Amino acid sequence: MPNRHIDDITALSEADEPLAGHLLRVAAQVAAQEGLATPDRGFRVLVNYGDEGGLVVHHLHVHVLGGRKMGWPPG
């Protein structure tokens, strides 16, 4: 649970680098728990920003996407 509000990825400061790293590490742990972090599977970590980027919840968070083949470019 966060102990302070960070609106979005652009609001991160240099002091927030440990938090940003923690978010990515936890995303990888969630992917592993869901069986996605394997050589034959895979996952994507996503951070939305702004209306056009799909930001709806105005609090910094990440999405772990997986369970299917991801295409590129996304969108």
Catalytic residue numbers read 61
**CA 29/CA 23 separation, integer angstroms:** 10
Answer yes or no: are the C-beta atoms of 49 and 7 closer than 8 Å: no
**CA 19/CA 12 separation, integer angstroms:** 9
